[in-house]
Structure 1
């Protein structure tokens, strides 16, 4: 329905041509803006309900328990793999996790894996590259989230969260304590939850629009064949270059799979192509723009730097294995 509305608005009302870069970019902008804002509101309401009724303190204590022996990072990565969100759409859940007091490393494990692996991309990968490469892609995406989340969690980066998120955390704790003593029926609580969720949407609205605007421009105006000349098998620096080229891009894993298929068909090594895909869906500039609302630039730099290193290493390993 959202795509149909975007098509009607851009091509019928605005009169733009679907075959032009401008038409494609504007259509992409309206479609993704509406989709992400609706998703942001829905997830914020769901997380608000969970925070109001779910014993988040027990969950937090459970996740930091030594008895899990690191399995909390696996569970977070697995949850990221089965949720069909792109990098920008994952951020509302990231806010919900942080708001609920979930350890930051566990939250990062989810944030890393969620855009990399989803069921649509897996189905497309099986049809395009076969089960072996698909299995390597899925396992590597989950491992990347686990290892990245564990390392980032050990770095004690909570102090680099934005003041906005810190205030949300404080309000959440105070609100949670108040709700525990309150027996107000759900239907009376719901308007308050919705109001708080609208406040979260309002707080990130500008960042959503700027981020998607960047992605829409790249979507429509990056010339075809621009990347292939730098990502050939003979170029030793093809993997880091592919990651560098991918950062300004913006797409979900399912959307980038057809591009990867073209890359491989033109002789680009599978590992280099996979590194490009991982960087597109996990290290986009639009994502960094959105993250600026919840993190300081230092934390964004640490997060991006760590994941960039892991993706580059993975790309080289894939080229050796495959």
Structure 2
């Protein structure tokens, strides 16, 4: 989908600016250009699409249904499965999270999507299958969906809505105040300017966070050597699993980009369960993601979210090492 963008980033950094593809700076800048533009495009498309849905689809009715009816966790599972089939990294998932919150979907359900979306995607699963076999792939995919389902359910049990940022609260409040907008009998063409303007307003509100977050990811992507972690994770001691997750959090990459690194880890003697825990920590939690989430969450809510997901990934790592 974004092959043209990768070609553009290669042309801009390697050809136009003449920075070598084999240099740390070239790799970091290429990563920054590609991911920044990709996230902005995704953000506009998703928010614009959610604007259309909010205009024509009775989202309040869906919200009330989810809040009033006991689905026995099915809503969390469905959101987690939806996250698994969307090919987004952690930072690219944030725009959809904004759209879910803006649409009035319960916060715990949105967390199920946010947890699973970066962990599992079809490209990573195909690569995982070719490298580690059917059993490891099924365990990895199933655990990612289960993590999202349980994590969203746990987070949904807390009253976390007051911990959303004032910016998001204002969006929700304005949406409620302007509910007559949906009731008006206007054509799509008549509503298009307002939908478009709303999408641009959201982009302008998160732009600085996107730039800062991807810049951090670019520096890490370009300057931290892959073999830096092998010496710490290859012993198989009990503490290597939590250490793997702690080391993974500052990293930033999508699942497809991490799978080859995991293969190297395993070849160097890192237990597969520990390597998978590192992968989940890398793609599911990252400092760039936290920077982006700062626009929509308070620091306390970010800490709660990261804490719950980190503990779940560590537990999964121990379980993986037992069964793989």
Give 1:3 shift. 0.6
1:118 corresponds to which of 121, 127, 130: 121
Structure 1 residue 210 corresponds to structure 2 residue 212:
yes
| Unpaired runs of at least 5, structure 2 | none
Q: CA deviation at 1:21?
A: 0.5
Match status 1:80 vs 2:73: no
Aligned residue for 1:28?
31
- Cα deviation for residue 234 of structure 1 reads 3.5
The offset of 1:205, in angstroms, is 0.3
User: Aligned residue for 1:305?
Assistant: 307
Cα distance in structure 1, aligned partners of 2:40 and 2:90: 14
The 8 Å contact of residues 127 and 259 in structure 2, kept in 1 or not, is answered as yes
Query: What's 1:5 paired with?
Result: 8
Choose 270-279 or 62-71, whichever is displaced more.
62-71
1:134 aligns with 2:141: no
What RMSD over aligned residues (CA atoms) do the two structures have, in Å? 0.9
Residue equivalent to 1:95: 98
Written as runs of structure 1 = structure 2, the 5 A alignment for 1:230-249 is 230-249=232-251
- Superposed CA offset, 1:80-135 (max 9, x none): 00111111111111111111111100010010000001111111111111111100
- Give, in angstroms, the shift of residue 66 of structure 1: 3.1
SS class of match (1:225)? helix
Deviation, structure 1 residue 192: 1.1
Q: Is contact 2:85–2:120 with CA below 8 Å preserved after alignment? A: yes
For the residue of structure 2 that corresponds to 1:183, the secondary structure is: coil
Quickly say closer, same or farther: Cα 1:20–1:114, change in 2 above 3 A: same
Q: How does the TM-score come out when normalised to structure 2?
A: 0.97
Please name the residue that 1:288 is paired with: 290
Q: In the alignment, which residue of structure 1 is the partner of 2:263?
A: 261
- SS across alignment from 1:68: coil
The CA distance in 2 between the partners of 1:123 and 1:59, in whole Å, is 34
C-alpha contact 2:236 2:271 (8 A) present in aligned 1: no
* Structure 1 stretch displaced more, 57-66 or 300-309: 57-66
Q: Secondary structure at the residue paired with 1:143?
A: helix
Moved over 3 A (4+): none
Per-residue deviation, 1:173: 1.6
- The aligned counterpart of 1:220 is 222
Report the Cα distance in structure 2 between the residues aligned to 1:137 and 1:155, rounded to whole angstroms: 27
Secondary structure in structure 2 of the residue aligned to 1:200: helix
Contact 2:226 2:261 survives alignment (8 Å): no
C-alpha offsets along residues 244-298 of structure 1, whole Å, 9 cap, x if unaligned? 1111100011111110111111110011000000000111000000000000000
From 189, 192, 199, the equivalent of 1:190 is: 192
Q: Provide Cα deviations, 1:136-178, integer angstroms capped at 9, x if missing partner.
A: 0011000000100001000111110000000000111223x21
2:105 partner SS: coil
Provide the C-alpha distance between the structure 2 equivalents of 1:64 and 1:280, rounded to a whole number of angstroms.
33
Alpha-carbon separation, structure 1, partners of 2:183 and 2:143: 45
2:107 paired with 1:104: yes
TM superposition score normalised by structure 1? 0.98
How far 1:236 moved relative to its partner?
Answer: 2.3
Q: In structure 1, what is the equivalent of residue 253 of structure 2?
A: 251
Aligned to 1:47: 50
